[in-house]
């Protein structure tokens, strides 16, 4: 079942937003009983100097991991966790999309419904954070 859910995340097209705006995020809705989901969007950090990203948090999930999808030596698509802290240079733009870099949401605490708005925060080593809203689609 878990493999089917992850495969569904990778293969299903999702419309990010009409204007392809930065700092707009969407969370994939999942059936009851499934405790993980995924978030997509484009993040343009507002850092003025290089900063260290130490955490990512989203309401209603215990853990958020930054993942990259890569094809291994056997031509199999695999997810690889990006370890934090992560250096973020000024002017960076990160695109989280199906079959690529994405935010894996683990340990869902409650059922989420299409249209729900979940606070999403990127936390830096300085204690500062950037907060956005992710819409459940």
Q: Which residues pair with 70 in a beta bridge?
A: 78
Which domains, from first to last, does the chain contain? Answer: 2-13+23-136 (2.60.40.1890)
> Tens of pLDDT along 4-52?
444 444 434 434 443 445 788 999 999 989 999 999 999 999 999 999 9
Write out the DSSP string of 51-113: EEEEEEEETTEEEEEEEEEEE-TTS-EEEEEEPSSEEE-TT--EEE-TTSSEEEEEEE-S---
Cβ pair 40, 10 in contact under 8 A: no
Tell me what pLDDT residue 78 has. 87
Inform me whether the pLDDT recorded for 85 exceeds 80: yes
How far is CA 32 from each of CA 6, 73, 110, rounded to the nearest angstrom?
Answer: 15, 35, 9
Tell me what pLDDT residue 122 has. 98
> Tens of pLDDT along 86-130?
999 999 999 999 888 999 999 999 999 999 999 999 999 999 999
Query: How far apart, in Å, do the first and last CA atoms of the chain sit?
Result: 21
> Tens of pLDDT along 50-70?
999 999 999 999 999 999 988
Q: What's the pTM?
A: 0.81
Tell me what pLDDT residue 5 has. 42
């Amino acid at each position: 079942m878990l493999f089917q859910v992850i495969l569904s995340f990778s293969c299903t097209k999702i419309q990010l937003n009409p204007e392809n705006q930065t700092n707009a995020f969407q969370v994939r809705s999942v059936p009851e009983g499934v405790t993980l989901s995924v978030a997509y969007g484009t993040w343009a950090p507002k850092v003025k100097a290089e900063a260290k990203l130490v955490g990512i948090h989203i309401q209603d999930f215990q853990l958020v991991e930054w993942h990259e999808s890569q094809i291994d030596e056997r031509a199999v698509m695999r997810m690889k966790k990006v370890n934090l802290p992560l250096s973020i240079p000024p002017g960076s733009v990160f695109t989280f999309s199906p079959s690529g870099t994405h935010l894996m949401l683990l340990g869902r605490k409650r059922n989420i419904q299409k249209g729900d708005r979940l606070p999403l925060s990127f936390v830096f080593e300085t204690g500062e954070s950037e907060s956005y809203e992710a819409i459940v689609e």
